[in-house]
Amino acid sequence: MNSPLVKSLLGLILVMVFLMLVITPSSPPPNPPTQTPPTGPEQTATTQGIIRHSYNLSLSDNRKQDFTDSLKQESGSEWGSSRINATGGSCLFTEGAYHVSQTTKNPLMNCLTSRTFSDFSFEVQLTLVQGDCGGVAFRADNNGNHYLFSICVNGSYSIEKYNESSPVMIILAKSSATINPNVLDSNKIAIKADGPIMKFYINEEVVAQKQDNSYISGSLGLIAHTRHNDPTEAAYSNAKLWTPLGPTTPTNCTTR
């Protein structure tokens, strides 16, 4: 069995096996599993998360939080209670929220903070209990000058400028599908003011950006607006405000 012929055959077989292993191409790696994009509720949740992150970043970018006010009680709040019988308006903490009311005697009830603000980001939750419109007045002074951002039960919103010596100027008025229009529906409204540039949000979506330099500083107001002479009551909660970060003070370093 150890003849030269047998050895030659064994050697030939080993060479052929080696060549087969070297020449035969290896199988390609299996394709990775295809990632199926989320659909239905999962897709909606992902989209809402992206929108919320973008919204939060827009309000707070390069800003510090000045206050968070639940508006459940007057103690520690930026707003106070008042009842103005002469004009039929009131600003009251009741039922775990800040209720601003106005009868038909006067179209607008404006409950103002004692502090004033210039550049800021502000958001608040608004529920119309009855009537027409609620919203935020800003850069308001004691003479009635201010801007007003309001949303109404008919699904519309408006941006207006009030001036003590001239009629109300409507900067923008239109309808928006972003608004939850029914009485007792909740809407989150927000404003970002940087100098003359003002950006407006409803339910975390930008609805408008306008520019006006008439007023640069003033109080914040929560309002009830009887546009159609209907007694109006708006309930507010969870107010938050951010102000710009102060300038960085340079550090003087002395090399010894």
pLDDT for position 58:
86
How would residue 112 be classed by pLDDT, with cut points 50, 70 and 90?
very high
In this prediction, residues 95-110 reach a mean pLDDT of 90
Q: What does the pLDDT look like over 212-250, one tens digit per residue?
A: 999 999 999 999 999 877 899 999 999 999 999 876 444
3 has pLDDT over 80: no
In this prediction, residues 35-63 reach a mean pLDDT of 68
In this prediction, residues 154-181 reach a mean pLDDT of 93
Amino acid at 79: W
In this prediction, residues 74-94 reach a mean pLDDT of 91
pLDDT for position 54:
82
pLDDT for position 62:
86
172 has pLDDT over 50: yes
Q: Are 195 and 205 a contacting pair, CB within 8 Å?
A: no
Q: What does the pLDDT look like over 13-23, one tens digit per residue?
A: 765 655 565 55
Q: How far apart are alpha carbons 139 and 221 in whole angstroms?
A: 9
CB-count burial class (<10 Å; 0-12, 13-18, 19+) for 130: middle
Polymer length of the chain: 256
Secondary structure (3-state) at 74: coil
Report the b/e string of 194-215 with b at 16+ CB within 10 A.
Answer: eeeebbbbbbbeebbeeeeeeb
How would residue 78 be classed by pLDDT, with cut points 50, 70 and 90?
very high
How would residue 87 be classed by pLDDT, with cut points 50, 70 and 90?
confident
* Domains observed in the chain: 68-132+150-159+173-205+223-244 (2.60.120)
Sign, Cα dihedral of 73, 98, 240, 77: negative
Quote the strand ranges of 2-107, DSSP E: 63-69, 82-84, 89-94, 97-102
Q: How far apart are alpha carbons 82 and 104 in whole angstroms?
A: 18
Q: What does the pLDDT look like over 136-165, one tens digit per residue?
A: 999 999 999 999 999 999 999 999 999 988
* CA within 13 Å, CB half, 135: 26
Q: What does the pLDDT look like over 34-47, one tens digit per residue?
A: 566 666 655 545 55
201 has pLDDT over 50: yes
Contacts of 41 (CB under 8 A, 6+ apart): none
Q: What is the dihedral of CA 116, 117, 122, 125, to 10 degrees?
A: 10
Q: How far apart are alpha carbons 208 and 163 in whole angstroms?
A: 21
Tokens of 71: 């508006």
